[in-house]
Chains A and B, each alone.
Chain A
Amino acid sequence: MSAVENPRQISGEVLLNVEDISLSFGGVKAIRGVSFNILKGEIRAIIGPNGAGKTSMLNVINGFYHPQEGKITYKGETRSKMRSHVAAKQGIARTFQNVALFKGMSTLDNLMTGRLLKQREGILQQTVDMLLHAVYLGPAKRQEVVERKVVEEIIDFLEIEAIRKTPVGRLPYGLQKRVELGRAIAMEPELLLLDEPMAGMNLEEKGDMSRFIIDLNDQYGTTIALIEHDMGVVMDLSDRVVVLNYGEKIADGTPNEVSANQDVIDAYLGVS
């Protein structure tokens, strides 16, 4: 990872554009004709009451769900159906609402899995690499040290040095969330999707996590889309907010615009 020269410059260049996305599961319409965009370098929040389709939206963006209708343009290219490992290769990383770490592995190994997508492609190359790693000589050994250095920088950034070799299954929830963020950072994504990064955290942990998100965006220029229920966090962190309710977009704009929007207030507080 290398720090961006001139941080916090939202150029106005669109990184991801979703247009008229509709997704349904049988008769259940999870998302109905939602359009919005994410600009390069911004922190974009997606909010809405439970069941509004926020997580489904993230799943659509990283290729886990395939919408029945609509168009997704990422880095100027309209993409077709794809599997999520292809999205990962193109620079989209994400974390999950309920932590999805590899429980049997150490923190270090979990972060190292984030580096796997930097491996060479192709059956022949993969076989050669596998054999080289089996004898653990020359390029394979050097490669491991290089990857380790990258991962150690992330460990340093997230202040998780002490749990480097602890199996993640034994870590408390707040730290697991942090390790999961680390794994996503290890992928060096251009677009990072965070699904409720602060869920279930106490005030101090929320503060830490907010700091990591801001620093990540600030120092490395990573574009971030996050789903969050803590309105304080959303209002403080994000540049723009999109609000979903029952699968439809009801508002889109800066935090101030959105919080003043009557539809949003109705969706959250109910209408008398």
Chain B
Amino acid sequence: MLYRETGQFKTSYSADQAIFPIFQDRMFILGWLIVAFIAVPLMASEYWFQIILIPFLVFSLATLGLNILVGYCGQISLGTGGFMAVGAFSAYKLATNVPELNIIFVILISGLITALVGILFGLPSLRIKGFYLAVATLAAQFFLIWMFNKFGWFVNYSPSGSIAIPPMEIFGVMVTSAKADPVARYYLALGFTVVLALLAKNLVRGPTGRAWMAIRDMDIAAEIIGIKPLATKLKAFAVSSFFIGVAGALYFSAWSGTAESDAFDINLSFNILFMVIIGGLGSVVGSFMGAAFIVLLPIFLTNLFVGELGFSALTAKHLEITIFGALIIFFLAVEPHGLARMWQVTKEKLRIWPFPH
């Protein structure tokens, strides 16, 4: 009843191939955009921005990037943290060495640099698959973090080894560093996330995405129908790393303001992989759901255990990790296709509501 495409007749292929062909979906997206761009900035407090909203956006973007590689192209990567570090450190080097460059370009160029690094580490994917590729990307993770630790050039020889974003402006509004208003930083992250998410959605439903999914579903058949395996996989590595690099640059510039290479360690890679799995492999909307789930759950649990039940912080932390692990197992067992699949099922149910089937 509520969600139904009945009566929505498409009379041209271009209407049928629109990004959101169903009216209810268009309204749904529009609603979220209104909430994100207008309602949230009016209502949210600084705590909300810093603890929930900006990290959610940053991690959504990183999850989306990893989902392109893992969910759409079927190439497993454990190097996400390392790639985010490339984005963050590129942004730092650009912002400090070329101060006249606008922050938007700083972030975009950081993404492009990460894309190049991603292509480099994607080269083994022609020969190795599955777990073996995961191990190869793990090497990327450790190598990159080692590199940023080892060479002082990356941190402008700061003795602490940490980097800090200089204050930067867009149209005279300060958007980075602690001096900036959280709302401005939120808008910076939101702008990038929304635009890139729409681009990703278009990519995965077009020829590029079809080639990726063909490689994912059956690489031999894909090659026999004329898809070049290496070029297609490298495109996935490039696009995925671009997204992750932008996410890394935003992590550093819009969210934390300062960073050390250790912030981008293997734990971050695993966390983002969990977001992809819980959100749903091969789903753009799932990437957002996965990121929301993993960003919000610890905050919710901490509030519940410490705030409501009065546990000690340490006990709460342990419980949190336990519940977190249990939930991942639960998801893998019960709904391997993640939250996106649950959302899909809900939509199917809504189509026939109030009837059971």
Contact = CB atoms under 8 A, between A and B. Distances in A.
Interface of A: 62, 64, 83-85, 87-89, 93-94, 96, 100-105, 109, 112-117, 119, 126, 129-130, 133-136, 140-141, 144-145, 147-149, 152, 183-184, 187
B202 A62 contact: no
Given A136-B19, A145-B14, A102 B218 contact: yes
A135 B199 CA distance: 6
A20 B346 CA distance: 60
Interface string B1-34: 0000000000011101101000000000000000
Given A101-B221, A113-B214, A130-B208, A85 B202 contact: no
A143 to B, nearest CB: 8
Contact of B224 (A85, A115, A135, A136): A85
Contacts of B207: 112, 115-116, 119, 129, 133, 144, 147
Contacts of A117: 225-227
B82 to A, nearest CB: 24
A94 B220 CA distance: 12
B13 A149 contact: yes
A103 B216 CA distance: 10
Closest 6 CB pairs of A and B: A117-B226, A88-B226, A102-B217, A100-B221, A133-B206, A134-B199
| Residue of B12, B17, B225 with highest tally of chain A CB at under 10 A | B225
B316 interface: no
A89 B226 CA distance: 6
B221 to A, nearest CB: 4
A116 B210 contact: yes
Contacts of B19: 136
| Residue of B12, B206, B235 with highest tally of chain A CB at under 10 A | B206
A84 B228 CA distance: 9
A129 B210 CA distance: 14
Interface of B: 12-14, 16-17, 19, 199-200, 202-203, 206-208, 210-211, 213-214, 216-218, 220-229, 231, 235, 239, 282
Contacts of B13: 144-145, 148-149, 152
Consensus secondary structure, chain B interface:
helix
Nearest to B217: A102
B165 to A, nearest CB: 28
A149 B16 CA distance: 12
Contacts of B235: 126, 130
Given A104-B216, A149-B13, A133 B202 contact: yes
Contact of A134 (B202, B214, B224, B227): B202
A133 B226 contact: no
A116 B216 contact: no
A136 B223 contact: no
Contacts of A109: 210, 213
Contacts of A129: 207
A232 to B, nearest CB: 29
Given A103-B218, A135-B199, A187-B226, 12 more contacts: A83-B223, A88-B226, A102-B216, A102-B222, A116-B214, A116-B225, A126-B231, A130-B239, A144-B13, A144-B14, A144-B207, A145-B17
Given A84-B223, A84-B224, A119-B207, A148 B17 contact: yes
B210 A104 contact: no
A126 B228 CA distance: 12
B199 A103 contact: no
Given A102-B218, A116-B207, A94 B224 contact: yes
A140 B17 CA distance: 12
| Residue of A87, A100, A112 with highest tally of chain B CB at under 10 A | A100
B227 A85 contact: yes
A103 B218 CA distance: 8
A177 B222 CA distance: 16
Contact of A62 (B200, B208, B216, B224): B224
Contacts of A149: 13
Contact of B203 (A93, A103, A126, A130): A130
A85 B220 CA distance: 10
A177 to B, nearest CB: 14
A105 B203 CA distance: 15
A113 B210 contact: yes
A88 B225 contact: yes
B225 A112 contact: no
A113 B207 CA distance: 7
B225 A114 contact: yes
A85 B226 contact: yes
Contacts of A105: 210, 213-214, 217
Contacts of B14: 141, 144-145
Contacts of B16: 148
Contacts of A136: 19, 202, 206
Nearest to B18: A136
A88 B222 CA distance: 10
